[in-house]
Structure 1
Amino acid sequence: MSASETPIPMISEASGPLSGVAEVPGDKSISHRALILGALAVGETRITGLLEGQDVLDTAAAMRAFGATVTRHGPGDWTVAGVGVGGFAEPDRVIDCGNSGTGVRLIMGAMATTPIAATFTGDASLNRRPMGRVTDPLALFGARAWGRAGGRLPMTVVGAADPVPVRYALPVPSAQVKSAVLLAGLNAPGQTVVIEPEATRDHTERMLRGFGAEVTVADGPEGRVITLTGQPELRPQAVAVPRDPSSAAFPVCAALLVPGSEITVPGVSQNPTRNGLFTTLVEMGADLVFENPREEGGEPVADLRVRHSGALRGIETPAARAASMIDEFPVLAVVAACAEGSTVMRGVKELRVKESDRIDAMARGLEACGVTVEEDADTLIVHGRGAGGVPGGATVESRLDHRIAMAFLVLGLAAKAAIRVDDGGPIATSFPVFEPLMQGLGAAIRREG
């Protein structure tokens, strides 16, 4: 499946049992960071298992525009010849980050302490998303930014000529903002400190250490304190990208909901800052087993064995867990719709500023499919209809959001009547093989027209 300006309507309907091995793509978060840190290292970094979704391909193109040599040798097999910390060249064109909030925010951070200018844009969805949450802390280093009203793209960022280290407390948990500040701190003298109130995905800290930066993490009265010593010479690495738990979530949840299903999803990241969904599913009664735990590329991974679970029950997810499953709430809401009782998801206000307002998108879509939903600024409550109880039969707007599209296609497999998604094209940004992978497991998902 490829991204396209022409909508790609899709439909899913009740399927027979899903079975087989789901070889989901590499982790998107790690893929972005491997390309960026490879570009900031001195020498050649080798990356295997790189996700080749459009979001990551846009980051690869951006690294080329800043002067790194980025080469694809085969599926998932890439090298990056870096230019060193502070070595980015000024790009001679606008940097188009497509649909990727992660890509644009991390790249802004990586160039914010180098005295160059770059203009960023994206697709219609990305250009609606706020960038002030990143440009405000980057201004503390001395960077400047000009964009559309509300701090939106297109936006020009001018990096600091004489950057200073900063100490920044995140107002809300955000791995993107944390990572942007740490990447900016690489070219600032002294120590840059980020304080996060709740732990968010820690791929940046792990990978910075792997590339040779000095990073310490400690718990303090204010929260989790991350300290980076600036101006290191990053060493090139061999990075093996584990499989993406956010992508694995879709076949996993589909297998839980479709009677008779049993699948295996090998080599999925089990990073504790990313596994909130799996913890939640087990609490709901999911038959989910973690086999062959091991470490790959500095990240814990395991093989997941998943069996249909017909007696799932609604639970309350604590706000403190939200950061570890922020991208999985759309598909969790689908599972909740098929469970007995109500599922209360707290601490989810970050969903309001993702590729779409995901709380509103899921609420309206679930209501169209016959599910009762309650919401406020920071909470989503789904009143489950039990196994096989979701009426379905609706056409749902994906809102240019890949995870909304995939979540409702999963729901269609377990609903009484088929569910249509108005546009499945955005799925290519993160999970380009979603359609054939799901079909290979036996899912009745297809394009219309």
Structure 2
Amino acid sequence: MDYRVAPAVRIAGRCRVPGDKSISHRAVMLAALAQGESRFDGFLAGADTLATAAAFRAMGVAIDGPQDGSVRVQGVGLHGLQPPAGALDMGNAGTGMRLLAGLLAGQRFGVTLTGDESLSRRPMARVIGPLRQMGADLAAEEGDTPPLVLRPVAQLRGIDYALPMASAQVKSCLLLAGLYAQGQTCVTEPAPTRDHTERMLAAFGWPVTRQRGRVCITGGRGSLQATQFSIPGDISSAAFPLVAAVIAAQGEVLIEGVGVNPTRTGILDILRAMGADITLLNPRDAGAEPVADIRVRASRLRGIAVPPELVPLAIDEFPAIAVAAACAQGQTLITGAAELRVKESDRIAAIASGLGMLGITVETLPDGLRIEGGQFRGGTVDSHGDHRIAMAFSLAALRAPEPVRIRDCVNVGTSFPGYTVLMRGLGLEIEEA
């Protein structure tokens, strides 16, 4: 499926984006391991999170839903999972696979994790190495790519691990493995990353110690207890109507009920530094997560050097930020973002290719991009099957004189089902082809 987007002038209205993908993954995982029935609403019914739910159903967990975003999970306890009849297919869900690798490393049965063609090319060495230090027995294909084969071991052991690169997925993988490890498991981060796993572990009643970039849990003591909560709107999905409103010639958008966890709001800080008119309204809590409505207005942007400390806090939003940078006056420099190389695509290369195809001067760096603000032209962009690349470049038509076509957009459904309908409601002239 391709997108064809015609030029438009005004983006305006109010909307609510789908539930947070990162939190939805973790909600199913911890609810499955808890004692009792957990209930939550706002669940993202996207392909990635549904793959995670299907994996736990295959291991004997009763999951009712999602029905209008509501899910009920009958937890089986830490040691209640059953061997699946076959391999667990995670589709395109890199988060699901990396977190499950940790969670399943300490089970009493073996399991194989597979994925689609894109996921099968993504590197898993960053979780394989530390899991082996914990005593896990796992194997992968040449180059440490999926499938991942996990075999049962007598006991995992806690480790004290310093992340070589800021990564919430690696941190979360090790914390979930730490539930089954003897002793304490600690992870030290070089920079803050999203902390949904830590927050959710605490919400399910597991003690978590956090201090100055270091998080620790002790395995084998106690149990996870069922709970109820709401999953907020995903700020990574809100990035697209947000940037659309900022770069449009006219308009104002209110995005309701968005998660504004301080480890996820880097995009707001970056766009504000570029001159964007963004206001948080009605701040409140949804379970363990802070929530607000985001009001954004059309703005004149200027290029900036993105502060390094904000990069891990906006890592999934850089495709949208790059489109905003192309509409800014002057140069935008992004460094310290090597993590973008190992997402659903090499996002540094994909962003540079797309911007170049649409007439923007861009230079790739080993860990980032240098983007010169300019004038988009019409043309065709290859998304490389990456949902965030596809959605980001659909916004370029707001500043182009001719239509923009984006190829291979079917994976948008992994994180933002209903994307084209929502964006048309705000004024984007987008069609599926």
- The alignment partner of 2:38 has SS state of strand
AA aligned opposite 1:115: R
Q: What residue identity is the alignment partner of 1:340? A: Q
1:335 aligns with 324
Secondary structure, counterpart of 1:333 in structure 2: helix
Q: Distance in 1 between matches of 2:233 and 2:111?
A: 32
1:394 CA drift (Å):
1.5
Bigger mean CA deviation after superposition, 68-77 or 274-283: 68-77
The answer on whether the counterparts of 1:142 and 1:159 sit within 8 Å (CA) in structure 2 is no
SS of the residue 2:186 aligns to = strand
Asked if the contact 2:2–2:432 (Cα under 8 Å) also holds between the matched residues in 1, the reply is yes
Matched residues in 1 for 2:273 and 2:57: separation?
45
The equivalent position to 1:346 in structure 2, one of 335, 343, 350, is 335
Kindly provide the amino acid, as one letter, of the partner of residue 113 in structure 1: G
Correspondence for 1:43: 36
Contact 2:4/2:432 (<8 A) preserved: yes
**Alignment pair present for 1:390 and 2:376:** yes
SS in 2 for 1:316: coil
Which residue in the other structure is 2:313 paired with? Answer: 324
Between the aligned partners of 1:110 and 1:84, the Cα distance in structure 2 is 13
Match of 1:174 in 2: 167
Distance 1:154 1:164 in 2: 24
**Where has structure 1 moved over 4 Å in runs of 4 or more?**
none
What residue in structure 2 maps to residue 255 of structure 1?
Answer: 245
Secondary structure of the 2:51 match is: helix
Paired residues of 1:113 and 1:142 also in contact (CA < 8 A): no
Correspondence for 1:304 = 294
TM-score, normalised by the number of residues in structure 1 = 0.95
Confirm or deny that 1:435 pairs with 2:420. Answer: yes
Distance 1:125 1:209 in 2: 33
Conserved? CA contact 1:14–1:444, under 8 Å: yes
Identity of aligned residues (%): 48
1:205 aligns with 198
Please, which runs of 5 or more residues in structure 1 have no aligned partner?
1-7
Letter in 1 for 2:331: S
Distance in structure 2 (CA, Å) of the matches to 1:208 and 1:446: 41
**Residue in structure 2 matched with residue 3 of structure 1 by the alignment:** none
Contact 1:345–1:381 (CA under 8 A) maintained in structure 2: yes
Q: Which amino acid aligns with 1:11?
A: R
Matched with 2:392 is 407
Q: Distance in 1 between matches of 2:367 and 2:253?
A: 34
Match of 2:362 among 357, 362, 373: 373
The TM-score, its normalising length taken from structure 2, stands at 0.98
1:250: how far off? Answer: 0.1
Alignment of 1:32-431 (within 5 A): 32-72=25-65, 74-219=67-212, 224-231=213-220, 232-309=222-299, 311-385=300-374, 389-391=375-377, 393-431=378-416
Q: In structure 1, what residue type is equivalent to 2:219? A: G
Q: Distance in 1 between matches of 2:344 and 2:193?
A: 19
Amino acid at match of 1:405: A
Partner of 2:8: 15
Cα contact 2:270–2:310 (8 A) shared by 1: no
Counterpart residue identity of residue 417, structure 2? P
DSSP-derived class of the 2:320 partner: helix
Aligned-partner Cα distance in 2 for 1:320–1:441: 32
Give 3-state SS (helix, strand or coil) of 1:145's partner: strand
Out of 339-348 and 133-142, give the one that drifted further: 133-142
Return the alpha-carbon distance in structure 1 between the equivalents of residues 199 and 288 of structure 2. Answer: 7
Task: Describe the superposition over 1:277-327 as per-residue Cα deviations: whole angstroms up to 9, x where unpaired.
Answer: 011111111111111111112111111111111x20000112221110000
Alignment partners' CA distance in 2, 1:356 and 1:344 = 21
Most deviating of 92-101 and 244-253: 92-101
- The C-alpha deviation readout for 1:73-128, integer Å capped at 9, x for no partner, is 62100011111113222111111111111001111111111121111111111000
Q: Distance in 1 between matches of 2:151 and 2:385?
A: 30
**Counterpart residue identity of residue 78, structure 1:** V
Question: Could you tell me how far apart the structure 1 residues matched to 2:284 and 2:393 are?
Answer: 32
2:417 aligns to what SS in structure 1? Answer: coil
Q: Is the 8 A contact 2:229 2:286 kept in 1?
A: no
Residues in 2 aligned to 1:151 and 1:115: alpha-carbon distance in whole angstroms: 23
| Contact 2:155/2:182, CA 8 A, preserved across alignment | no
SS in 2 for 1:194: strand
Q: Secondary structure at the match of 1:293?
A: strand
Q: Is the 8 A contact 1:141 1:160 kept in 2?
A: no
Distance, in Å, in 1 between the alignment partners of 2:388 and 2:333 is: 20
1:196 positional shift: 1.0
> Which residue of 13, 20, 24 maps to 1:31?
24
Alpha carbons of structure 1 residues 73 and 446: separation in structure 2 relative to 1, 3 Å: closer
Superposed displacement of residue 153, structure 1: 1.0
SS of the residue corresponding to residue 26 of structure 1 reads: coil
Do 1:119 and 1:155's aligned partners in 2 also have CA atoms closer than 8 Å? yes
SS of the aligned residue for 1:11 comes to: strand
1:331 is paired with a residue of what secondary structure? Answer: helix
Distance in structure 2 (CA, Å) of the matches to 1:105 and 1:245: 21
Q: CA separation in 2, counterparts of 1:73 and 1:407?
A: 27
Q: Between 156-165 and 279-288, report the one with greater CA deviation.
A: 156-165
Secondary structure of the residue aligned to 2:181 is coil
Query: Are the equivalent residues in 2 in contact too, given 1:125–1:355 (CA < 8 A)?
Result: yes
In structure 2, distance between residues paired with 1:286 and 1:159 = 52
Note the aligned Cα RMSD (angstroms): 1.0
